[in-house]
Amino acid sequence: ASGPAAALRAFWQAGWGFDTLYDRILVRPYLWLARLWRADPLDAPYDGAAALSRLLYRGLSATQSGQLRHYAAAIAAGAVVVVFIAVAA
């Protein structure tokens, strides 16, 4: 078959062009936006919170000794500070 019949057969066998249409309407614009927003500014607050969490972890993990008396002393000192603030106010 040649001519219009061959062209029609090729069009039908190509899925009526839906793959090309899908690619041009959905896939390419999505990939373009993904490249554009690679460094997403909307993620900045969450990235900052994660960085702060890591920083606090590094600082606070240095205070971890595994000895109960140090923890009890820290709790007692905190209680004294809270009472002092309550009395001073």
pLDDT at 73: 93
pLDDT tens digit sequence for 14-32: 888 888 899 999 999 999 9
Count CB neighbours of 71 within 10 A: 13
pLDDT tens digit sequence for 44-76: 899 999 999 999 999 988 888 888 998 999 999
pLDDT at 50: 96
pLDDT at 64: 83
pLDDT at 41: 81
For residue 25, give Cα distances in angstroms to 12, 13, 29, 35: 20, 21, 7, 17
Token pair of 22 as six digits: 């899908």
Q: Quote the CA–CA distance of 41 and 9 in Å, as a whole number.
A: 49
Q: What are the residue boundaries of the structural domains of the chain, listed by start?
A: 4-36, 41-88
pLDDT at 1: 60
